[in-house]
Structure 1
Amino acid sequence: MKQVTTLFLKIAVIFIGIPVLALCIFLVPEIGNITAQLLPEFAYMEYLVSIIFYASAIPFYFALYQAFKLLRYIDKNEAFSELSVKALKKIKYCAITISSLHVLVLPLFYLFADKDGAPGVIFIGLVVPFASMVIAVFAAVLQKLLKEAIDIKSENDLTV
């Protein structure tokens, strides 16, 4: 049963990466073009936006790789190991990096909202930083719980 569950999660991790790859290929250049059209006085923003979105894809895929490694540790019955704690720590740092990079783009959402007269655009810009911070906090909590479980396990092993 455990193998089937982790296999399903591994497939889900792969399927999570595919839409982001499609967004990087098709949507990011379009967002850069829209930025250049809406803000011609800030023509350099086209490149800045593309760089930030592509740069945030790197830690995203690294975090997916760490999640895949974590699932392999579970398959090998090494879930309660320092390797799992390290993987969760890397996922946490990747989520913080993604959130930080997307916070850098928030002034651009403000300029879009100001130009278009739609203040709701700012809230759309907050979705990715907020979601990645939730993932970072969740990974930090899991990391702490796993570390405590490993400590308790090692104490019990020494007692027996």
Structure 2
Amino acid sequence: MKKVSTLFLKIAVILIGIPVLALCIFLVPELANVTVKLLPNFAYIKYLVYAVFYASAIPFYYALYQAFKLLRYIDKNEAFSEISVKALEKIKYCAITISILHVLTLPLFYLFAENDDAPGVIFVGLVVPFASMVIAVFAAVLQKLLQEAIDIKSENDLTV
């Protein structure tokens, strides 16, 4: 049963990566062009859009790779080990990096809101940083729980 559920999760990890790749290929250039059209005085912002979205794709895929490795550790019955804690730590740092990179685009959302007189656009810009921070906190909690479980297991092994 465990192999089937981890197989399902591995497929889910792969399927999560495909839409982000499609967004990077098709949507980011379009978004950069729309940015130039909406803010013609700030044509250099096009490169900021490219930099932020492509730079945030790198830690995203690295975090997916770490999640895939974590699922392999579960398959090998190595879930309660230091390497699993390290994988969760790397996922946490990737989520924090993504959040910081997308916070850098908030002034861009402010300019869009000023241009269209729609203050709700700023809240749309907060979705990705907020979601990334939720993932970072979740990974940090799992990391701490897993570390405590490993410590308890090692104490029990020493007392026997």
Using the size of structure 2 for normalisation, the TM-score is 0.99
SS in 1 for 2:80: coil
Mapped to 1, the partners of 2:140 and 2:54 lie a distance apart of 25
Matches within 5 A, 1:66-81: 66-81=66-81
Q: Give per-residue Cα distances to partners, 1:1-44, cap 9 Å, x unaligned.
A: 00000000000000000000000000000110011111111110
Matches within 5 A, 1:6-155: 6-155=6-155
Shift of 1:91: 0.1
Paired letter, 2:99? S
Shift of 1:83: 0.4
Mapped to 1, the partners of 2:18 and 2:133 lie a distance apart of 22
Structure 2 residue ranges without an equivalent (≥5): none
Paired letter, 1:83? I
Per the alignment, residue 2 of structure 2 pairs with 2
Mapped to 2, the partners of 1:30 and 1:50 lie a distance apart of 10
Using the size of structure 1 for normalisation, the TM-score is 0.99
Shift of 1:117: 1.0
SS in 1 for 2:77: coil
Shift of 1:111: 0.3
Structure 1 residue ranges without an equivalent (≥5): none
